[in-house]
């Protein structure tokens, strides 16, 4: 049973997909405060990355866990679950394709998940992101300097909270 009318559903979806969502603002504010300059919602790149640091060769996506199907916490609503499952699967496939396209174009891609911006994890996530931005930048310089123009092997996008990489078990002591 679908308890949402079409109208209600599109209103909800519009809200979920809206630009300048709060998690994006958190990331942008942090980058700005650290002196990074960026463009946002860059439409001429695959997937319109939320944040693009051209100088660093880095594209950042800030993903909502529900909408982009974060397997840790992106649970499917019980009501009308087939609809949502298909929708989210398509989103995940599209995300993956866009990341691959960006990587092939020579961008480093960072995915920041919404749940990693909760207060308890925020600082660590943002620092980690900054670390990868600088790492990508240094790798880029190395590539430019190399007369062979080799790309590093196993170059893959950076998923800040890939399931196997979650190691934030320590709680901050107050
Ligand atoms: Zn999540």
pLDDT of residue 149: 47
pLDDT of residue 119: 94
* Cα–Cα distance for residue pair 129/111, rounded to 1 Å: 9
Residue 6 located in a structural domain:
no
Residue 147 CA to ligand 1 centre (angstroms)? 41
pLDDT of residue 91: 95
Encoding tokens for residue 170? 């320590």
The DSSP-derived string for 106-168 is T-EEEEEEGGGGSHHHHHHHHHHHHHHHHHHHHHHHHHHH-TT-PPPTT---EETT-GGG--T
- Ordered per-residue pLDDT tens for the chain, 174 residues: 455 566 666 666 655 555 667 999 999 999 999 999 999 999 999 999 999 999 999 999 999 999 999 987 767 777 888 898 999 999 999 999 999 999 999 999 999 999 999 999 999 999 999 999 999 999 888 776 655 444 444 445 555 543 444 444 455 544
Residue 3 located in a structural domain:
no
Residue 118 CA to ligand 1 centre (angstroms)? 10
Residue 114 located in a structural domain:
yes
Domain CATH number, residue 116: 3.40.960.10
Residue 39 located in a structural domain:
yes
Residue 13 located in a structural domain:
no
pLDDT of residue 21: 72
Residue 174 located in a structural domain:
no
pLDDT of residue 27: 97
pLDDT of residue 20: 66
Residue 168 CA to ligand 1 centre (angstroms)? 13
Residue 85 located in a structural domain:
yes
Residue 159 CA to ligand 1 centre (angstroms)? 12
Residue 142 CA to ligand 1 centre (angstroms)? 33
Residue 59 Cα distances to 2, 51, 72, angstroms: 37, 6, 23
Residue 52 CA to ligand 1 centre (angstroms)? 22
**Cβ atoms within 10 A of the Cβ of 148, count?**
6
The domain total for the chain is: 1
Residue 151 CA to ligand 1 centre (angstroms)? 31
pLDDT of residue 139: 87
* Cα–Cα distance for residue pair 60/112, rounded to 1 Å: 7
Residue 10 CA to ligand 1 centre (angstroms)? 23
Per-residue buried b or exposed e for 80-108, using 16+ beta carbons within 10 Å of the residue's own CB:
eeeebeeebeebbeebeebbeebbeeebb
pLDDT of residue 15: 57
Residue 170 located in a structural domain:
no
Q: The domain containing residue 68 runs over which residues?
A: 18-161
């Amino acid at each position: 049973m679908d308890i949402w009318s079409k109208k209600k559903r599109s209103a909800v979806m519009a809200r979920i997909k809206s630009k300048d969502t709060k998690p994006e603002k958190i990331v942008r504010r942090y980058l700005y405060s650290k002196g990074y300059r960026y463009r946002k919602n860059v439409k001429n790149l695959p997937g319109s990355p939320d944040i693009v640091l051209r100088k660093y060769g880095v594209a950042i996506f800030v993903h909502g866990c529900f909408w982009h199907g974060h397997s840790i916490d992106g649970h499917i609503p019980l009501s009308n679950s087939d609809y949502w499952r298909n929708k989210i699967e398509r989103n995940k496939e599209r995300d993956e394709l866009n990341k691959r396209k960006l990587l092939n174009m020579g961008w480093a891609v960072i995915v920041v998940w919404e749940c990693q911006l909760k207060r308890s994890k925020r600082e660590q996530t943002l620092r980690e992101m900054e670390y990868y931005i600088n790492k990508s930048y240094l790798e880029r310089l190395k590539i430019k300097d190399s007369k062979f123009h080799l790309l590093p092997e196993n170059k893959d996008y950076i998923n800040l909270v890939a399931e196997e990489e979650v190691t934030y078990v320590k709680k901050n002591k107050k």
